Amino acid sequence: MDGAGRLKLFRGLLEEAHRVLDLPFGFELWDGSTVPADLPSYAMRLVIRHENVVASLVRRPNFDTVLNAYVSGLLDLRNGTLFDLAAQRPQKAGRRLRTISKLTALKTAYHFLRAPADMPRPLSRVEEDPNAREGKPQTNKKNVAYHYDVSNAFYGLFLDPEMVYTCAYFQPDWHDDLARAQKDKLDMICRKLRLTPGDRLLDIGCGWGALICHAAQHYGVKATGVTLAEEQARLAREKVARLGLQDRVEVMVKDFTQMEGEFDKISSIGMFEHVGIRNHPAYFQAVHRLLRPRGLYLHHTIARRAKRSERAFRKLKPEYKALTRYIFPGGELDHLGMSIANLERFGFEVHDVEGWREHYQRTTRLWWENLSARQKEAEAMVGKEKTRMWLLYLAGCSLAFERAAVGVNQTLVSKRIRGPSGLPPTRADLYA
């Protein structure tokens, strides 16, 4: 069968699927035709730019094939966003699709199996490292460099002016001022840690230095930030010098397990996701070793929902596997119960847990909007493929937080000792 015959078969199958699912959006095929045929020009549609996409999906019906098609631009969305598409997804689609003619589906699949399937696979260039979660300092640095050393300018396209790449804090309402929300987040962290002038603060995974500079400027602490990303450290040191904080702020490129000294307060804001579950004991032991007795530690991390068993929890969905391969090599999320158990197991007393899931949903949505608005600039910096991948990643994160598939928690603990913790009797002052 030639290409015209395959196109006719596929269009017929799509028309039946569109009718059965009662889809509110349509499709645009590689010859310019649409499904349904009378689809208005302004209507949202999923664009399939080449029959090779269909042939590839028939041969490899998996998430990676869809990702490669999208990243390479052969699968696209017109007159709408990924958020619009997610909002219009059909309910109980699997059950309804079973009513489609199996003969038509098999006939279409058979003929596309015989069609060329040489679709570009740009993501195949990213090799999966079986040792990504081994926890060795050199491997950790390689993982971090892959994600953060893209370029500081690229991150500047969508982050706030202080370059804070973690969950913002929106208060007293759900506003859209990302810069304000990030400053409020930095201040909330400092208040939760009860920072006072002269405190020695260690920020594990300090990023571009926003928190350590804020804490030194507004709370009078002596702050040390550690990161494994050379590009981050360079920009953070420039910021420290620009603000005249060299006598109070130090930025180190060093693995946290190799840190020495004793600190009054320690923060880890969005870094723990990089550690890997089997390396959690070494992580918590290092934090305990570095924190003085009664010292406070703020553990801020993304977490998945707990499952009925740890075995079920370790079973990962395709989109999660793609995230850890193409965006965060070595990354691994625990669940809140696992973090709490480990904190207690390794010598900490838990004082407070606060869920910020909806804050991160809004943060990642605003990041996506910022990057979308400057997409052409991003493409000039890092290429179309990487830009499309990042837009997909940010949208996917926002949707995952919206649906409560993942959450983010701030857990305040102290280094456990007998007797009073030294904390006030209520948290009222934090929200005054």
Please tell me what DSSP assigns to residue 17.
H
397 is catalytic: yes
Report, as residue numbers or ranges, the catalytic residues. 397
